[in-house]
Each structure stands twice: as C-alpha cells, then as structure tokens.
C-alpha cells in the first residue's frame, strides 16, 4: 500500500499543494497523513502514527524531502527505520531519493547523506568537547550537577547542545541519550536553561 505524508510549518499555511501532488501520484486521500507544526522541535503526531502503521511492502511518498526530515541526522534515522521494516520511500520533487526501485544512484545518494549525517554528529561531539575544554581553561566548574552522577554529566552537556541546536524533538533526544523526558528537563535546568524557551537558532 502507498501512503503520503504532508507537512506545513504554521497554521496559516495550507497543505493543498502537497496533497494535490500526492493525489496525482495515485495516492488515495484517506492514505495521506498530515501535520501542522509551529516548531522544528514539536512532535509530529501524524508522522509517528504513519511510521507505526506502515508494514513491509508499503511505500511512503512525500512532495519534498524537507517535509519529512528536519536534518540529515533525522533523515538517516528514518531511512534506517524504513529499511529495517521493508518500507520503501519516494520524494516527488527529488527523484534521486527513491527506494521503490533499487538503483546504484539512489543507494549512493542515501549513503552520501548517511556519511554527512555522521559528520554532523561528529561535529556536535567535537563542539561539545571544545566547549568543555574552553570552560575548564577559564576555571569554570564542570563537575556533575547536584543529583546527577559523574557518569551522566556528559549527557547533561549533550542535552544542552541538542537543545541549542534545535534540530531534534525531545523524544528524539531522549531516545538518543537513553533518558526519560523528566531527566532531560532536569538536565536542562541544571545547565541553567529554560526548556520552554525556543533556542535562538530554532526557526
């Protein structure tokens, strides 16, 4: 079965362009999942339902890649999940992203994205390490906050980094660091951040 996914960033925008494109692809309207989210960190409930619903042999189609993924890291994560479930993926306006028919070109592009995503992860880690070293040179105390073990203090720093990056949802951050939402907010408070505020670079 073929499913479509469409998303707009604000309530003022409409989904007509994307839905029309998906309908032209032969996708039934009842099989089109949609989201309207105002922040890149906001959870996409319809996308989550779609990912839980699809089964081996199904296909997910989007009008444009950025309607589905927030970043290269997010895209790679989704592609891995779909591949493990045996679900195909296709972007209408970016035909080079199409796993419905295996091709060396499509596999090359996806592998390239995966490599860039890994580079992005490495940059985040290196930036965090550099920030810690800089703080130490300035005499800033970087010990574990009260209530957080020495073992987990790095996770608190990463929570702060991911929060400021503004590219992942709270759920994705918690999954990546293997912590609960309560712990995530606790770590941010200990790092002096208000999790309800939008990061400065979050559109």
Any idea which residues carry the catalytic annotation?
9
CA proximity to 35, closest of 19, 23, 24, 20 = 19
Residue whose entry in the numeric block shows the structure tokens 């290269």: 72
Report whether 21 contacts 92 (CB < 8 A).
yes
Report whether 66 contacts 78 (CB < 8 A).
no
- The CA-CA-CA angle for residues 177, 181, 184, to 5°, reads 60
Q: Rounded to whole angstroms, how far apart are CA atoms 47 and 107?
A: 24
Q: Which two tokens stand for residue 105?
A: 């070109």
């Amino acid at each position: 079965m073929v499913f479509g996914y469409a998303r707009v960033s604000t309530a003022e925008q409409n989904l007509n362009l994307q839905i029309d494109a998906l309908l032209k692809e032969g996708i039934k309207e009842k099989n089109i999942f949609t989201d309207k989210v105002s922040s890149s960190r906001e959870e996409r409930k319809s996308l989550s339902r779609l990912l839980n619903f699809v089964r081996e042999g199904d296909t997910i189609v989007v009008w444009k890649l950025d309607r589905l993924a927030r970043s290269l890291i997010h895209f790679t994560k989704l592609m891995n999940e779909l591949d493990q479930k045996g679900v195909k993926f296709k972007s209408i306006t970016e035909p080079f992203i199409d796993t419905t028919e295996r091709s060396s070109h499509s596999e090359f592009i996806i592998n390239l994205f995966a490599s860039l995503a890994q580079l992005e992860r490495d940059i985040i880690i290196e930036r965090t390490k550099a920030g810690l070293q800089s703080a130490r040179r300035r005499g800033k105390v970087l010990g574990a906050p009260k209530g957080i073990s020495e073992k987990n203090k790095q996770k608190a720093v990463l929570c702060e980094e991911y929060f400021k990056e503004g590219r992942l949802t709270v759920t994705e951050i918690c999954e990546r660091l293997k912590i609960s939402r309560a712990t995530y907010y606790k770590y941010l408070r200990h790092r002096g951040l208000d999790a309800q505020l939008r990061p400065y670079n979050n559109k």
